[in-house]
Amino acid sequence: MALEQSNWTYNEFLAFLLVDAAGMDSTLSAEELEFIKTRTQINNIESIKATIDSQSDIEVLDIIEDYRKKYLNTEAKEIQAKTDLENLL
């Protein structure tokens, strides 16, 4: 079941961003999954993955851009998200 994406919390958005980045190589390792769950406190990562899988790449990028504007609206928040991505990868 895909996650309704119209009103995500920051942690849901961050989980979406991290799952998308981790899935670029077509797999989501147990280590990546644990990192995402620990960092975001989102346990139902499968719903996040289902949302990504049900979207085209363009739609995924549009979702990221929309929530980026909402949640990454300061330099400090952008740096934190970048750090989380770097730690994951």
Q: Does 27 score more than 90 pLDDT? A: no
CA-to-CA dists, residue 51 to 37, 57, 66, 80, angstroms: 16, 12, 15, 24
Specify the pLDDT at position 4: 61
pLDDT digits (tens, 9 = 90+) for 33-77: 899 999 999 988 888 988 998 999 999 999 999 999 999 999 999
Specify the pLDDT at position 30: 87
Q: Confidence band (pLDDT; 50, 70, 90) for 1?
A: very low
CA-to-CA dists, residue 61 to 29, 43, 57, angstroms: 22, 23, 6
**What angle (nearest 5°) sits at the alpha carbon of residue 54, between those of residues 6 and 27?**
115
Distance CA 54, CA 70 (A): 23
Q: Does 5 score more than 70 pLDDT? A: no
Distance CA 9, CA 5 (A): 10
Q: Does 88 score more than 90 pLDDT? A: no
